[in-house]
Every structure is written in structure tokens, then in C-alpha cells.
């Protein structure tokens, strides 16, 4: 037995992510059931928010990595 | 029953706290917002308070619904922050924090531009002590940079106010518009305090250098007073929509790569203020209600997040994501309360952000600004990413840093607990907040599709984080400094000044050499003509002089005969 906490074990992390994924898919499918008052035509597309949220976050992180190349300096840059 | 100007209670309170013995001071700081709140009841019931200054009529207290909303908010924020700072034994911070809050109250209850200016400057000068109170060289230079920006904003406000008064003849602080130079000056003054893009870096530079308790105060007042000013004077100015969208967008990229977790929250503060600025720019009743209610909620949830990070800094002395991690084991209560703040700022259903931010979003959609709407939705996902997940994850979970500490003092936990309770209370009973709003609210936050779409957005954003993190694509926390607009004056400006200095020194030396050469020439020629060996200094014989006189007389004679 390792003395790592439950939450730190890789297998439990994977389990949590799987549960999370399952909940996300259920939320996505609920789109079919719940009537949506769409603000724009494409805002009412199936899965728009889920898709947008996922893509936005991946784009954000990838753009931030590029930004880091441009603006990152040593910690004592201004000292 | 008559009432006192709210600011005056805080100034008097600050004076008394300053004179009180150390062991009474923390309790007295708590009594000030309590007494102020009791007074506020009568301020709400009674009329305004006018005094005359020379020929100008000053309106010290204008208690309409908009001013009262911010008045209530600032009393509440002061009370919570004073509980959080209850363990402090630092007279400078205890006194200046109350003066700062008083200045903010003076500004939001001001009915005229002169009173506004006075509150504005009191805030600037008092708040810098909360940064300097950290007593590190970095804090002292960051504080100075902060003060310069704040004073510049104050000077612009003064210039705009005087111009406005001379143009219109009225000092009233009301709707203004961007049609005149006075309006533009005042707009710029508000813009600096509101952290508009390119003039934002005083905030991300200086706030994270403040003390753990100081930053909680700082985040509550300055930017919110600026939001109040914009709502009062520039509601419906379309340019604000685009400025606000930029404010909501650009900080999230910086927040992702920032290592100092309180600086991440400073970026997130600009991002949230961006939503409010967009709301004011749209200017419809729904949008304005959204802007000011989001200001109210932001003070609570941003305060809560900053309190939890302040607690981490207070307990461990560390705040960089690269040095933290695994603190949930020893600070479980702080972890839980931080997650409440994270859920609130991410606009999770049943938490406060959910009932205010969406008002601005819906208003943007209703008015047909669909690109703005898309960008704000991007920013919403981004907020969840950096403030909702990154903050709690890197501080309390992630890899175990090995730090073993304890929960912060009871007063800190109590302040966080009360803030968290308010975040949930407003999220569950939004009508509590809506009843305070200046315009009538028809908006219903809890509809099935709103809850569903928001949950989809958040869950899939979280999935993206999980995927990026597990696959190793996520940028690690690195000890670093990220360049921002402050580079312009911390590096470029300093570089230009140094270069100019060098050019000046060279020019000075060249000038000195030239002057030396010039005077040398002059000296030598003077010596030649007038010196002891010169022509004029020669001693001449009487006969030689007589000869010259004869010659001159001869010339005269010849001329006479001609």
C-alpha cells in the first residue's frame, strides 16, 4: 500500500474524470429534451454550449502557451 | 431623524481607531461599518445634504437607489474585510483601510463633481498604504507606481470637473456623455481607475504586492467606484461595449500563465469588471442592472477568493502556484470555502455569479451584439478555467508541495464563511439582490435552458482542463515574470529616460568642452591686446605721443582745405 491519499492515485483520478465525462454527456443529451429559447439561430444548435466551452478552453490554453513564449521573463527581470 | 454623511462616520472612526490602544483597535474597526450601516438606514429614508462652498453648491449626500446599492455594498465589504483583518496589530493598515472605505463612500454618495474628486483623492492616497504595509522593497516601488497612476486619474478628474463646471455652470455629477473635452477627461479618469486596457497594469502590478488583508480591501473599492462613476455618467456610451469586451478577454490569457495566484485573481478582477463595463455600454435597464448587480457579487466572491489566497499566503508565506499544492490536507475548511468562491465567480447555478453575469449576456444578445456575446461567452469559459479551476487546483490540490500548515486564524475563517454564505444566499434567493437594484427587474435567472446551457458550458470547459492536464499539454506553473503594459514604464520608459540621461551627460560634457575652448580663445586674445605685454599696455615716450598729435592735426588740416 502506498501512503498516497485516495484523490492522488492515478486510477482514482481516471475514475473521477470518467464519471465527469458521463455527467457531461448526460447534460449534452438533455439538450434534446429541454426546450431552449434560443437567442440566435446557431445558439440553439444541439450541443452548442458544450462544444463552445470545450473549444474555448483548449484555444485559451494553446494561445496562452504561445503568449508565454512572447512575454515570459526571469523572475528577477525588473529587479 | 437626520443622518450623517456615511463617509464622515468612517473618517471619524479612523481617527478614533488611530488613537485607541492596540487591543481595542480590531473591535473598533468592526464597530465603524456597523454604526455606518445603522446610519445608512436613515440616509436611505432622509433627503440629501447640501453645503455651500464659495459660490458652488455641494451635494455631499445624494441617496438614490444606485448610490445606496453601492453604499450597502461598501459597508458590507468593509465589515467582512475588517473581520478578516481582526488579527492585525498594525495601526497603519487599520486606519488607512477605514479612510479608504470612507473615501469610496464619499465618492458614491457625491452629488457633485467636487465632492467626487475629494473622495477620489482620499481613496488614492489612503489605499497605497495597504500596499506599502507589506514593507518589502517590491511593495514600496509597486506602491509608488500605483500612486502615480491614481493621482494622474485624480488630476484628470479635477481638470474635467473644472472644465465641466465652467462650461455648464453646474457642478452636478450626472449623465455626461463624450461630446465635450470635459466629458472625455472625466471618462479617462474613470477609465484609469476602472483598469481599461493599457492603463490596467497598476492593478496587476500593485495589488498582489499588498498585504493579505490589504488586497481584500483594495479589490472591493477602487474599481467599483469607477464602475459606479461610469454607470452614473456614461451609461449607453457604445465605446464601453468594446472596451469592456477587451477587458473581459485579454486578462484570461495572462491569468492562465501567471504564477502568483493573487495576481491571477487581479487579472480575473479586470475580466469581471469588463462584464460590468459592457453592461454599462449597452445601457438598457437589464444591462445596467446586470452591471451593478455583478459589481455587488464580484466584491463578495472576489473578496472570498482573495481571502482564501490571503490565508494561504498568511499561513505558508508562499503564493506562487509553482511552490504550492496539496494544502487541502491541512487546510480543508479554507479549501471548501475557496471552492464556493470559485463556483460563484464561474457562475455555477445556485451561486451568486449565475444570477448577475447572465443579465449582461442576455442584454448583449437582445441588442444584437452577437460578436460581443460570443466573446463574453469565451471569457466566461475562461473565467471558469483560471479562477474557477486553476486557483483551487494549484493551491490546494495538484502535486503535493510537502507544505504542512494549519487553518488560518478563526477570524479569517469566519470572514470567509460569511462571504461564502452570502454568495450562496444570493445565488439561491436572487430576489434579495434584485430588490436593491436601481431599475425594475423582469429577468428570471432560473429557467431550465439557462441552467442547462450554463452547466454544459462549465462541464465541457472542465473536461477540457482535465484532458489538457492529464495529457501534459497544460502549461506548468513556472516561476516567472510576464511582460504586460507596465513594461512600457518599467522598462521602455526607464530605458528612454536612461538613454536621454546619457545623451544629456554627453551633451553637457561637449558643451563644457566647447565653453572651455571658447573662453580660452577669448582669454588669449584679451591677453594679447590688453595684457601686460600687449600693445595698449606699452609705455610710450612723450615724443612719440607728440608725433602722433602732429600727424592727426596735419590730417585735420588737409581735410579742412579739401
Contact B466/A at CB under 8 A: yes
Q: Where are the alpha helices (DSSP H) in B367-492?
A: 370-383, 391-396, 410-428, 430-434, 448-470, 487
State the pLDDT at residue A1: 41
What is the nearest CA distance from A1 to chain B, expressed in angstroms?
18
Domain chopping of chain B, boundaries: 1-233, 235-478
What is the nearest CA distance from A12 to chain B, expressed in angstroms?
13
What is the nearest CA distance from A25 to chain B, expressed in angstroms?
9
B residues 349-388 lying closer than 8 A (beta carbon) to A:
362, 365-366, 370, 373, 377-378, 381-382, 385
**Inter-chain CB pairs, A–B, below 8 Å:** 145
Q: Cα torsion for B121, B122, B124, B129, to the nearest 10°?
A: 150
State the pLDDT at residue B222: 96
What is the nearest CA distance from A56 to chain B, expressed in angstroms?
6
Name the residue facing A54 among B366, B377, B461 (closest C-beta). B461
Q: Cα torsion for B484, B214, B384, B477, to the nearest 10°?
A: 60
Whether the Cβ atoms of residue B17 and residue B99 lie closer than 8 Å to each other: no
State the pLDDT at residue B381: 93
Name the residue facing B473 among A28, A30, A61 (closest C-beta). A61
Q: How many helices (H) and strands (E) does chain B have?
A: 22, 3
Contact call for B381 and A63, based on CB within 8 A: no
State the pLDDT at residue A38: 67
Contact call for B470 and A17, based on CB within 8 A: yes
Contact call for A35 and B365, based on CB within 8 A: no
Domain chopping of chain A, boundaries: 1-34, 48-79
State the pLDDT at residue A3: 61
- pLDDT of residue A14 exceeding 70: yes
State the pLDDT at residue B144: 95
Contact B449/A at CB under 8 A: yes
State the pLDDT at residue B193: 96
Q: Considering only alpha carbons, which residue of chain B is nearest residue A75?
A: B480
Residue with cell 502568483: B260
Question: How far apart are alpha carbons A40 and B377 in whole angstroms?
Answer: 14
State the pLDDT at residue B1: 54
Beta bridge partners of B56: B53
Whether the Cβ atoms of residue B349 and residue B355 lie closer than 8 Å to each other: no
Question: How far apart are alpha carbons B463 and A27 in whole angstroms?
Answer: 13
Closest C-alpha among B46, B59, B70 to residue B114: B59
Contacts of B37 (CB under 8 A, 6+ apart): B72, B75, B79
Q: What is the DSSP letter of B257?
A: H
What is the nearest CA distance from B460 to chain A, expressed in angstroms?
5
| Chain A residues touching residue B449 (CB < 8 angstroms) | 34-37
State the pLDDT at residue B77: 97
- pLDDT of residue A2 exceeding 70: no
Cα B81–chain centre separation: 18
Residues of chain B with pLDDT under 70: 1, 47-48
pLDDT tens-digit map of B350-389: 999 999 999 999 999 999 899 999 999 999 999 998 898 9
Q: What is the pTM of this model?
A: 0.89
- pLDDT of residue A43 exceeding 80: no
State the pLDDT at residue B54: 72
Contacts of B226 (CB under 8 A, 6+ apart): B190, B191, B193, B194, B195, B273
Contact call for A20 and B452, based on CB within 8 A: no
Question: How far apart are alpha carbons B150 and B146 in whole angstroms?
Answer: 6
Closest C-alpha among A23, A25, A61 to residue B253: A61
Whether the Cβ atoms of residue B107 and residue B144 lie closer than 8 Å to each other: no
Amino acid at each position: 500500500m502506498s501512503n498516497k491519499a485516495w484523490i492522488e492515485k492515478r486510477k482514482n483520478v481516471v475514475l473521477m474524470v470518467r464519471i465527469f465525462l458521463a455527467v457531461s454527456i448526460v447534460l449534452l443529451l438533455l439538450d434534446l429534451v429541454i426546450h431552449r429559447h434560443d437567442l440566435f439561430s446557431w445558439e440553439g444548435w444541439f450541443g452548442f454550449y458544450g462544444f463552445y466551452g470545450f473549444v474555448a478552453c483548449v484555444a485559451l490554453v494553446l494561445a496562452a502557451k504561445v503568449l508565454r513564449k512572447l512575454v515570459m521573463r526571469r523572475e528577477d527581470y525588473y529587479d | 431623524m437626520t443622518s450623517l454623511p456615511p463617509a464622515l462616520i468612517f473618517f471619524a472612526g479612523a481617527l478614533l481607531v488611530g488613537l485607541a490602544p492596540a487591543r481595542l483597535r480590531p473591535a473598533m474597526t468592526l464597530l465603524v461599518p456597523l454604526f455606518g450601516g445603522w446610519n445608512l438606514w436613515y440616509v436611505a429614508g432622509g433627503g440629501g445634504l447640501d453645503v455651500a462652498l464659495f459660490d458652488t453648491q455641494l451635494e455631499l449626500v445624494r441617496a438614490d437607489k444606485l448610490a445606496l446599492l453601492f453604499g450597502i455594498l461598501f459597508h458590507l465589504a468593509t465589515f467582512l474585510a475588517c473581520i478578516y483583518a481582526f488579527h492585525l496589530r498594525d495601526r497603519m493598515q487599520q486606519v488607512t483601510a477605514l479612510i479608504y472605505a470612507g473615501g469610496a463612500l464619499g465618492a458614491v454618495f457625491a452629488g457633485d463633481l467636487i465632492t467626487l474628486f475629494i473622495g477620489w483623492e482620499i481613496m488614492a492616497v489612503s489605499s497605497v498604504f495597504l500596499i506599502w504595509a507589506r514593507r518589502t522593497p517590491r511593495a514600496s516601488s509597486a506602491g509608488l507606481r500605483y500612486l502615480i497612476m491614481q493621482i494622474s486619474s485624480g488630476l484628470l478628474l479635477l481638470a474635467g470637473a473644472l472644465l465641466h463646471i465652467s462650461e455648464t455652470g453646474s457642478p452636478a455629477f450626472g449623465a455626461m456623455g463624450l461630446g465635450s473635452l470635459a466629458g472625455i477627461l472625466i471618462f479617462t479618469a474613470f477609465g484609469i481607475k476602472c483598469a481599461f486596457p493599457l492603463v490596467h497594469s497598476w492593478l496587476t502590478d500593485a495589488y498582489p504586492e499588498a498585504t493579505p488583508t490589504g488586497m481584500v480591501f483594495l479589490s472591493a473599492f477602487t474599481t467599483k467606484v469607477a464602475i459606479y462613476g461610469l454607470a452614473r455618467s456614461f451609461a449607453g456610451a457604445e465605446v464601453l461595449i468594446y472596451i469592456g469586451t477587451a477587458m473581459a478577454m485579454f486578462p484570461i490569457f495572462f491569468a492562465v500563465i501567471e504564477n502568483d495566484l493573487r495576481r491571477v485573481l487581479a487579472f480575473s478582477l479586470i475580466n469581471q469588471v469588463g462584464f460590468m463595463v459592457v453592461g454599462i455600454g449597452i445601457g438598457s435597464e437589464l444591462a445596467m442592472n446586470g452591471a451593478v448587480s455583478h459589481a455587488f457579487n464580484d466584491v463578495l466572491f472576489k473578496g472570498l477568493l482573495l481571502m482564501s489566497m490571503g490565508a494561504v499566503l498568511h499561513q505558508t508565506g508562499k503564493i506562487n502556484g509553482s511552490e504550492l499544492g496539496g494544502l487541502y490536507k491541512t487546510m480543508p475548511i479554507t479549501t471548501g470555502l475557496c471552492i464556493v468562491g470559485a463556483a460563484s465567480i464561474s457562475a455555477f447555478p445556485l451561486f451568486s455569479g449565475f444570477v448577475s453575469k447572465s443579465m449582461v449576456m442576455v442584454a448583449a444578445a437582445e441588442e444584437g451584439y452577437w460578436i460581443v456575446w460570443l466573446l463574453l461567452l469565451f471569457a466566461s469559459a475562461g473565467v471558469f478555467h483560471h479562477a474557477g479551476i486553476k486557483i483551487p487546483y494549484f493551491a490546494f490540490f495538484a502535486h503535493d508541495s510537502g507544505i504542512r500548515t494549519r487553518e488560518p486564524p478563526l477570524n479569517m475563517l469566519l470572514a470567509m464563511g460569511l462571504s461564502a454564505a452570502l454568495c450562496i444566499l444570493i445565488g439561491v434567493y436572487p430576489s434579495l439582490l434584485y430588490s436593491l437594484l436601481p431599475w425594475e427587474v423582469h429577468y428570471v435567472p432560473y429557467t431550465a435552458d439557462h441552467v442547462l446551457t450554463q452547466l454544459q458550458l462549465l462541464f465541457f470547459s472542465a473536461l477540457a482542463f482535465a484532458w489538457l492536464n492529464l495529457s501534459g499539454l497544460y502549461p506548468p506553473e513556472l516561476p516567472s515574470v510576464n511582460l504586460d503594459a507596465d513594461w512600457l514604464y518599467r522598462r521602455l520608459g526607464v530605458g528612454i529616460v536612461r538613454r536621454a540621461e546619457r545623451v544629456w551627460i554627453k551633451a553637457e560634457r561637449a558643451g563644457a568642452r566647447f565653453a572651455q575652448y571658447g573662453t580660452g580663445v577669448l582669454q588669449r586674445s584679451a591677453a594679447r591686446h590688453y595684457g601686460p605685454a600687449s600693445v595698449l599696455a606699452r609705455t610710450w615716450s612723450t615724443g612719440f605721443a607728440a608725433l602722433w598729435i602732429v600727424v592727426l592735426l596735419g590730417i585735420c588740416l588737409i581735410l579742412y582745405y579739401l
